[in-house]
A = this chain, B = another copy of it.
Amino acid sequence: MTANTNAPETSDLADDVLPQGFRFAGVKAGIKASGKPDVSLIVTDRPAVAAGVYTTNQIVAAPVVLCRSRTPTSSFRGVVINSGNANACTGDQGDQDAARMTQIVADHVGCRADDVLVMSTGVIGHQLPMEKVAAGTVDAYGKLAAGAEAFSAAATAIMTTDAFRKVQWGNVTIGKNTYKIAAMAKGAGMISPNMATMLSVVITDAPLDENTCQFALKMAADESFNRVSVDGHTSTNDTLLLISSGEGESLSGDDLSTFQQTLNDVCIRLAKLLVADGEGCTHVLAIEVSGAASDTDATLIAKTIAASPLVKCAITGGDPNWGRIVSAAGYAGPTINPKQTSLKICGTLIYENGTPLPFDAKALSQAMKASSEVLIELAVGKTGASAKYWASDLTNDYVNFNSEYTT
């Protein structure tokens, strides 16, 4: 087998990276005051397999409730997505509006509303402007097309505070077949995953049955979207879908493992784009924790470091104030071994087995400032358990942006 993926830094999407069997549209419906695109639609030419993973927040948006009840499925036909309004904390009216969005799509596609999914993203606690949403959905249906341009339009219309469009893709050859995976995501704030974070749709033409699709997506989420943090705030709307238009026998065994590897890779690159575009982000923290009692413990320690405002601010300023990192590990919860705790920042060993080492603070500060991704390697013992995590730093721009959002 071979697996090819695009570099994370490029997003030059071409028609031939997209799996067959999908059509896309993104339109302006006037939901956003800015007048930017705000309704996306993705439909499949035939019934397809779809799986989803969703926010673990107990306060869930109406679209999440609906999608949870409709996935996994092997009769998927479409998903409609609006940005500019999250349809969260909107009571019974919100539930009715989410259902109506899927009904409108179903009426045009000629399928059951149950075969259509829905996502919303934006401000919480406002009722959807349903006339605009409905008109936008109909408009999007009329503009459905295959190809990169339409895919990009759909990826653009799901953005909210995102500074750039987030798409990734890859392909995997199994036997004589080459399968494609393409994915889009949005998200720049309220990002601290638990299951999935933000909105993301991954499409493929690899054949997957319902259970396999669900399993593969959960695996990929745990390695990617569940390992990034912007602000430690788990959203009410997080939804990640995997849609397969593939026909024939479902992948399994080694073939599935090969597919999984590429799926994980696409999702990891997409998740890292979320962090890089974290509100106000100037540096990505790449946190690698080793030596914990288990991988789960290592993940929790890495997540705690990722969430510390003091650590984030130190990275913002290129400040090798490493005590903040070590002390965050100490309050994370899992048992650590302080006398076997060691730390490297940008490859420089500065704390070894509980004792500080002399280092050139000025040189390290310059290295940190110059790195768009600051590598933090923390050992908290001598075991083989480890975890990776990615986070954004904390800047004035984050504060300014989030101090003036709804008003």
Binding site for B on A (CB under 8 A): 56-60, 86, 88-92, 123-127, 189-190, 192, 194, 231-236, 307-311, 313-314, 316-324, 326-331, 335-336, 338, 341, 351, 354-356, 361-362, 365, 394-396, 398-407
Is B405 a contact of A321 with CB atoms below 8 Å? Answer: yes
Is B59 a contact of A407 with CB atoms below 8 Å? Answer: no
Is A235 a contact of B327 with CB atoms below 8 Å? Answer: yes
Q: By CB atoms of chain B within 10 A, which of A58, A190, A362 has the most?
A: A58
The CA-CA distance from A204 to B192 in the complex, in Å, is 45
Is B124 a contact of A326 with CB atoms below 8 Å? Answer: yes
Q: How many copies does the complex hold?
A: 2
* Residues in B whose Cβ lies below 8 Å from that of A313: 398-399, 401-403
The CA-CA distance from A309 to B306 in the complex, in Å, is 13
* Residues in B whose Cβ lies below 8 Å from that of A59: 326-327, 329-331, 336, 338, 341
Is A404 a contact of B125 with CB atoms below 8 Å? Answer: no
Given A57-B327, A355-B91: A310 and B402 interface contact (C-beta under 8 Å): yes
The CA-CA distance from A406 to B323 in the complex, in Å, is 10
* Residues in B whose Cβ lies below 8 Å from that of A123: 321, 323
Is A319 a contact of B405 with CB atoms below 8 Å? Answer: yes
When C-beta atoms are compared, the residue in chain B nearest to A192 turns out to be: B331
Residue from the list B314, B318, B331 in contact with A194, Cβ < 8 A: B331
11 new A-B contacts, CB < 8 A, other than A60-B338, A233-B327, are A56-B331, A86-B323, A91-B356, A125-B356, A231-B310, A234-B330, A313-B398, A313-B401, A314-B403, A362-B407, A395-B399
* Residues in B whose Cβ lies below 8 Å from that of A58: 329-331, 335-336, 338
* Residues in B whose Cβ lies below 8 Å from that of A92: 355
A192: min CB distance to chain B, Å:
8
The CA-CA distance from A335 to B59 in the complex, in Å, is 10
* Residues in B whose Cβ lies below 8 Å from that of A329: 58-59
A84: min CB distance to chain B, Å:
14
Is B327 a contact of A407 with CB atoms below 8 Å? Answer: no
Is B331 a contact of A406 with CB atoms below 8 Å? Answer: no
Is B405 a contact of A88 with CB atoms below 8 Å? Answer: no
The CA-CA distance from A127 to B162 in the complex, in Å, is 44
A114: min CB distance to chain B, Å:
24
Is B234 a contact of A331 with CB atoms below 8 Å? Answer: yes
Is B232 a contact of A307 with CB atoms below 8 Å? Answer: yes
The CA-CA distance from A257 to B362 in the complex, in Å, is 55
> Would you give 13 A-B contacts (Cβ < 8 Å), ordered by A?
A58-B330, A59-B327, A59-B331, A60-B330, A89-B323, A89-B327, A124-B324, A125-B326, A231-B309, A314-B403, A317-B402, A394-B399, A396-B396
Is A321 a contact of B56 with CB atoms below 8 Å? Answer: no
The CA-CA distance from A1 to B362 in the complex, in Å, is 60
